[in-house]
Structure 1
Amino acid sequence: MKPIAVTMGDPNGIGPEITVKAHADPARRPPVVVIGDPDVLARACRTTGTALTVRAIDSVAQARPTRGVMDVLTEGGLPADLAPGTVDARAGMACFRYVRRGVELALRGEIRALTTAPINKEALRLAGLPYPGHTEILAELSGTKDYAMMMANDELRVVLVTVHQSLRTALDALTTARELEIIRLTDRTLRGGGLAHPRIAVAALNPHAGENGLFGREDLDIIEPAVRGARAEGIEASGPWPADTVFMRARAGEFDAVVAQYHDQGLIPVKYLGLERGVNITIGLPFVRTSVDHGTAFDIAGHGTADHTSLLTALHQAADLTAGPDGRPADPSPPT
């Protein structure tokens, strides 16, 4: 079975610590190779008290899944003076190299999925890399134009129409075409995961779904036409529903996923249920990518106390999404 590749994230954050903890956890199921720095990961083992042997390898073919051993694909050395808990351009560049290597492996079919530990947006910027986050890096490196962020746990799935931008510019970015694109991506992803007829709720932008234009016309003029268009294509979409109740309804089982209009509208409900339970999934890519739903946590980096549950959950989600006979995501047929 092909392994899942894990990028260790920002060397100065908690990524190395949660990577070694998840790797050593007896509950871990899928075989794993790590993309990162062996010295940093060995230090994380000492910091966390994790009993692992870190073994540097040059290719996925050299990996030999063994309990108690972590196979690490090295991607350039790191300077010895990098300090946990600090923002550093050199760490930002290293994060990018790890993700780039992972995308290359995924596109060549050498790994079954890619799971990522957290990176720091400020470190990326200091390194001269014009990306607001993982999602945009993955999309550009894989040549993907239609993509979106899905946040999921065992009670709720949320897909975002707009992601890492100011609220003011996010409102300007909402179009009927974009809404429909996200609804389609959500439907294909859920059917690829085994749901024959996904029920997709679209969250309204304005309070009370705009009250028929009294609180703004975006829901009438932008979102509602997209929902109608999706239903005309055979997608079981509905809305726009008032955002103050739609997530509760989805959690109760009325819907399989909610399309949210902007970052905090969608992520607050998911993260309120527990950071350790959430998984970030980039949908629309030509390979499966999952990630933790938290950041680099520089305030506790180097202390050995970071919780690795979200990374372990992300690994298991990646394994489940690639559980087919060829280890690749399902390619669902169009809706009928």
Structure 2
Amino acid sequence: MQPFIGIVQGDACGIGPELMSKLLQKLTAAERNRALIISDQRIMTAGNAVTGQETHCKRLNEPTEIDPECGQPQLLDIRCLDPANIVPGTVSVDAGCAVLKTFGLAIDLAQSGVIEGICFMPFNKAAMHLAGIGVADELTWAKKRLGVTGRASEFNVIDGMWNARVTSHIPLKDVAETLNIDGIVDAIVLANQTLTRAGYDNPRIAVAALNPHAGDGGAIGTEEIEIIAPAVEKAKLQSIKVDGPFPSDTLYLKVRDGQFDCAVSMYHDQGQIAIKLLGFDQGVSVLAGLPVPIATPAHGTAFDIVGTNSANVNAALNAFRMVSAMAQGRNLAPLDRA
């Protein structure tokens, strides 16, 4: 059976309202009838006004009214943001507060077993910080709210190509000194666990080097010799199918060509640039290491095209289907490029 998935409105100053409207139109009837939209109804109405489309939803006032078996899409109307009080295409503390309220409620509903996964429309980190998120990003916030103490990380996925990270939202100048054997092993283990949860049998993982040409035998950096290669060997002791380090300028060609299922990058943009070039409008970000599957389009709030009805919905659709697949422990079919 199609799992019961929560869809969160995202930052209302961006393309989230438009994407929600388009997403509901793109879902199959079976998917749509097992969807719970967690949003202010006024934001939904604003999104429908942009797209000129509307999907009828059963409106709910309280979480106690949720019925996963009702046979139609449901809108949990959270009165958290009046569109008249925000300026589209700008960073807004009110929009940030609405994100924290709706996303927090979705996490609570997932933790209590009401919904089986969460797909959220793009957030704006600046708005969330103005709203008082108090941590680096939504992953860290979700991890804290769920009481997770182990490693969690953001993965990016496009057409069956997965990218994991050892470090994420830190300055580039701090990456080399942050790397250590155990941290890399933890990232490899999480990649293996996440892909296994997504339905991969014995996933094949490739680990990126840090330096150009993988350090050229130590001539232009020793991290590969002293840290990364030992981490790969240590991870192999856990019966993980992992190899590396590989020079990052060719690593993603190996993933693209099907030699590996997942790359583990040493820092944020090392993998992000490659993955986004391979399919910017299709990519999905997965919040890995949490007890509930959570995913979002890999692109951002796109303030520059708000209100133009030009947002591509495919990444949102892929994110919804990724969450559904992970909730069922199955591998997702090739991502939608229609």
TM-score, with structure 1 as normaliser: 0.90
- Secondary structure of the equivalent of 2:177? helix
1:250 aligned onto 2:251: no
**1:93 positional shift:** 1.2
State the match for 1:173 in structure 2.
178
Q: Which moved more, 1:271-280 or 1:53-62?
A: 53-62
Task: Within 5 Å, give how 1:250-289 maps onto structure 2.
Answer: 250-289=255-294
- Secondary structure of the equivalent of 1:277? coil
**1:180 positional shift:** 0.4
Give the aligned residue type for 2:66.
Answer: Q
State the match for 2:35 in structure 1.
32
8 Å CA contact retained: 1:38, 1:54:
no
8 Å CA contact retained: 1:200, 1:255:
yes
Q: How many residues align?
A: 326
State the match for 1:130 in structure 2.
134
8 Å CA contact retained: 1:51, 1:68:
no
State the match for 2:8 in structure 1.
7
Q: Which runs of 5+ in 2 are unaligned?
A: 332-338
Change (3 A) 1:249 1:110: same
8 Å CA contact retained: 1:202, 1:239:
yes
- Secondary structure of the equivalent of 1:239? strand
Give the aligned residue type for 1:7.
Answer: V
Change (3 A) 1:93 1:267: same
Change (3 A) 1:317 1:228: same
Change (3 A) 1:259 1:86: same
**1:169 positional shift:** 2.4
- Secondary structure of the equivalent of 1:228? helix
**1:304 positional shift:** 2.2
Provide Cα deviations, 1:270-319, integer angstroms capped at 9, x if missing partner: 11112222111111101111110010111111222211111011111111
8 Å CA contact retained: 2:36, 2:73:
no
Change (3 A) 1:133 1:29: farther
- Secondary structure of the equivalent of 2:37? strand
Alignment partner of 1:46 out of 45, 49, 72: 49
- Secondary structure of the equivalent of 2:217? coil
- Secondary structure of the equivalent of 1:276? coil
**1:60 positional shift:** 6.5
Distance in 1, Cα, partners of 2:74 & 2:309: 18
- Secondary structure of the equivalent of 1:273? helix
Alignment partner of 2:245 out of 237, 240, 243: 240
Distance in 2, Cα, partners of 1:60 & 1:3: 15
1:140 aligned onto 2:141: no
State the match for 1:184 in structure 2.
189
Distance in 1, Cα, partners of 2:76 & 2:236: 47
Task: Within 5 Å, give how 1:94-113 maps onto structure 2.
Answer: 94-113=98-117
State the match for 1:333 in structure 2.
none
8 Å CA contact retained: 2:157, 2:283:
yes
- Secondary structure of the equivalent of 2:200? coil
Distance in 2, Cα, partners of 1:301 & 1:25: 20
Change (3 A) 1:260 1:158: same
Give the aligned residue type for 1:289.
Answer: I
Q: Which moved more, 1:125-134 or 1:137-146?
A: 125-134
Distance in 1, Cα, partners of 2:24 & 2:255: 33
Alignment partner of 1:215 out of 212, 216, 220: 220
State the match for 1:332 in structure 2.
none
Distance in 2, Cα, partners of 1:79 & 1:51: 17
Distance in 2, Cα, partners of 1:89 & 1:165: 24
Change (3 A) 1:178 1:210: same
Give the percent of matched residue pairs that are identical in Structure 1 and Structure 2.
32
Give the aligned residue type for 1:56.
Answer: R
Give the aligned residue type for 1:38.
Answer: Q
1:18 aligned onto 2:30: no
Change (3 A) 1:282 1:235: same
Provide Cα deviations, 1:69-95, integer angstroms capped at 9, x if missing partner: 552341534463212111111111111
1:313 aligned onto 2:314: no
